[in-house]
Amino acid sequence: MNAKLSVLMITKNAAETLEKSLASIKKIADEIIVVDGGSSDDTVLIAKKHHSKIFNYKGRLWEDQCQIGLEKAVNDWLLVLDSDEVVPQKLSKEILSVIHDIKMNYTGYYIKFQTHYLEKPLCYGGENYKKMVLFKKKFGLVKQTLGHYFYEVKKGKTSQLKNKILHYSYRSISQMFVKFTSYGIRMGKEKYLGGEKSSFKKIFLYPIHMFWARFITDKGYEDGLFRIPLDLGFAYMEFVTYVSLSFFNLKNKK
């Protein structure tokens, strides 16, 4: 019997990118699970158009939202995809190849990501990364830290696929800074809950270090000068993180 694949997405106001993402997996997904966090745009309508199984989530924790999807999926294999990520044809074929190969003895696969900024691919400056997003459901485990969620497998061997997921994370300057503001505030709160204190050094010097690390140390300049606003955006997120942390420190000071 051929293995079947469930695709899991968590969404909230993702109409801008969801259509392209869902269209990219329609030939490989035996089931699409969408856990929506209360969208006010056309996200749910687009998901229904692609015959997704839709579950509503009213909380605020990404980890819980992901766990719902993990529990609702019915197939042996699970591919986790964000609504701004696209699976190209070569990767689709590779995914089907590994999950249908009974000789393969892996419980999960890391997949590399090709981040895009203003529709242009990035290869340097911290954008060359991989994540565990294809795994056997019964071994899957979701975790959350510092404003991000990620998956692990509980046991077994893992491997890595050759082809990449296309990630359209930074589609405009305004969208990018809205995202970084949200992330910065969330990370500031999590650092506060972890007992960290803010300081003048962290607020003003850490952002400078962030820009230098991404654009110089990690060779972001190799992608081209066009990415300077992106790395300034990461510096801005660092600034927001520690200003927010300072706010939480002062607000809850006894």
> Quick one: 12 and 33 in the same domain?
yes
Q: Which of 120, 138, 170 lies at the terminal end of a domain, its last residue?
A: 170
> Quick one: 166 and 82 in the same domain?
yes
Both tokens of 249, joined, read 């420190």
Q: Which of 120, 149, 170 lies at the terminal end of a domain, its last residue?
A: 170
Average pLDDT estimate for 63-83 = 92
> Quick one: 41 and 86 in the same domain?
yes
Burial status of residue 203 (CB atoms within 10 A of its CB: 0-12, 13-18, 19 or more): middle
> Quick one: 59 and 11 in the same domain?
yes
> Quick one: 139 and 193 in the same domain?
no
Q: What is the mean pLDDT of the chain?
A: 93
Average pLDDT estimate for 11-23 = 96
With 0.85 as the threshold, say if the pTM is over it. Answer: yes
> Quick one: 115 and 199 in the same domain?
no
Domain containing 43 — which CATH number?
Answer: 3.90.550.10
Query: Residue 223, Cβ neighbours under 10 Å: how many?
Result: 21
| pLDDT computed for residue 168 by the predictor | 96
pLDDT band, very low/low/confident/very high, at 254 (cuts 50, 70, 90) = low
> Quick one: 125 and 179 in the same domain?
no
N residues, the chain: 254
pLDDT band, very low/low/confident/very high, at 147 (cuts 50, 70, 90) = low
Name the DSSP class of 99.
H
| pLDDT computed for residue 65 by the predictor | 85
Residue type, 37: G
| pLDDT computed for residue 102 by the predictor | 82
| pLDDT computed for residue 197 by the predictor | 95
pLDDT at residue 17 is higher than 70: yes
| pLDDT computed for residue 252 by the predictor | 77
Tally of structural domains, the chain: 2
Residue 89's domain comprises 5-170
> Quick one: 152 and 202 in the same domain?
no
Radius of gyration of the chain (CA): 19
Residues 95-138 have pLDDT tens digits of 999 999 988 889 999 999 999 999 999 999 999 899 999 999 99
Q: Which of 125, 142, 170 lies at the terminal end of a domain, its last residue?
A: 170
- CA dist 238 and 182 (Å) reads 11
pLDDT band, very low/low/confident/very high, at 59 (cuts 50, 70, 90) = confident
CA distances for 145 relative to 134, 149, 151, 183, 202, angstroms: 20, 6, 11, 12, 20
> Quick one: 52 and 25 in the same domain?
yes
> Quick one: 28 and 91 in the same domain?
yes
Average pLDDT estimate for 70-85 = 95
Average pLDDT estimate for 230-237 = 98
> Quick one: 148 and 181 in the same domain?
no
Contact 130, 158 (CB under 8 A): no
pLDDT band, very low/low/confident/very high, at 62 (cuts 50, 70, 90) = confident
> Quick one: 43 and 165 in the same domain?
yes
| pLDDT computed for residue 6 by the predictor | 97
Backbone angles phi, psi at 2, to 5 degrees: -70, 140
